[in-house]
Chains A and B, each alone.
Chain A
Amino acid sequence: MIETFYDVMRRQGITRRSFLKFCSLTAASLGLAPSFAPRIAHAMETKPRIPVLWLHGLECTCCSESFIRSGHPLAKDVILSMLSLDYDDTIMAAAGHNAEAIVDEIVTNYKGNFILAVEGNPPLAEDGMYCIIGGKPFVEQLKYAAESCKAIISWGSCASWGCVQAAKPNPTRATPVHKVPGLADKPIIKVPGCPPIAEVMTAVVAYILTFDKLPTLDKQGRPQMFYSQRIHDKCYRRPHFDAGQFVEHWDDEAARQGHCLYKMGCKGPTTYNACSTVKWNEGVSFPIQSGHGCLGCSEDGFWDKGSFYERLTTINQFGIEANADAVGGTAAGLITAGIAAHAGLTALNRAKQAGAEQL
Chain B
Amino acid sequence: MTVINTPNGFNINDAGRRVVVDPVTRIEGHMRCEVNIDDDNIIRNAVSSGTMWRGLEVILKGRDPRDAWAFCTTYLRCLYRYPCVNFGTRRGKCVKH
Chain A positions near chain B (C-beta within 8 angstroms): 56-62, 65-66, 69, 89-96, 99-100, 123, 130-135, 138, 163-165, 167-172, 174, 194-195, 275, 279-282, 284-287, 289-292, 295, 297, 303, 307-310
Contacts and interface: CB of A to CB of B under 8 A. Distances in A.
A88 to B, nearest CB: 8
Nearest to A96: B21
Shortest 3 CB-CB contacts between residues of A and residues of B: A171-B55, A285-B92, A287-B87
B82 A95 contact: no
Given A285-B92, A291-B91, A194 B25 contact: no
A289 B91 contact: yes
A60 B58 contact: no
B11 to A, nearest CB: 18
B52 interface: yes
B51 A133 contact: yes
Given A60-B77, A134-B22, A174-B54, A290 B91 contact: yes
Interface string B49-87: 001111110110001101100110111111001111101
A77 B23 CA distance: 25
A284 B71 contact: no
29 contacts: A56-B30, A58-B54, A59-B29, A60-B73, A61-B28, A65-B77, A90-B26, A92-B25, A95-B24, A96-B20, A96-B23, A99-B25, A100-B23, A123-B54, A131-B30, A164-B59, A169-B59, A171-B55, A172-B53, A194-B84, A275-B84, A280-B88, A284-B95, A285-B92, A286-B87, A295-B84, A297-B83, A303-B71, A307-B63
A84 B78 CA distance: 21
Nearest to A56: B30
B49 to A, nearest CB: 9
Contacts of B54: 58, 123, 130, 164-165, 171-172, 174
Given A131-B51, A281-B88, A295-B83, A95 B95 contact: no
Interface residues of B, number: 46
The main secondary structure of chain A at its interface with chain B is: loop
B66 A164 contact: no
A295 B70 contact: yes
A284 B22 contact: no
A309 B64 contact: yes
Given A61-B28, A309-B64, A281 B92 contact: yes
B89 to A, nearest CB: 5
Question: Which of B32, B64, B82 has most chain A Cβ within 10 Å?
Answer: B82
A292 B87 contact: yes
Contacts of A285: 88-89, 91-92
A172 B24 CA distance: 22
A295 B95 CA distance: 23
Contacts of B52: 57-58, 130-132
A96 B90 CA distance: 39
Contacts of B26: 89-93, 95
Contact of B51 (A99, A132, A279): A132
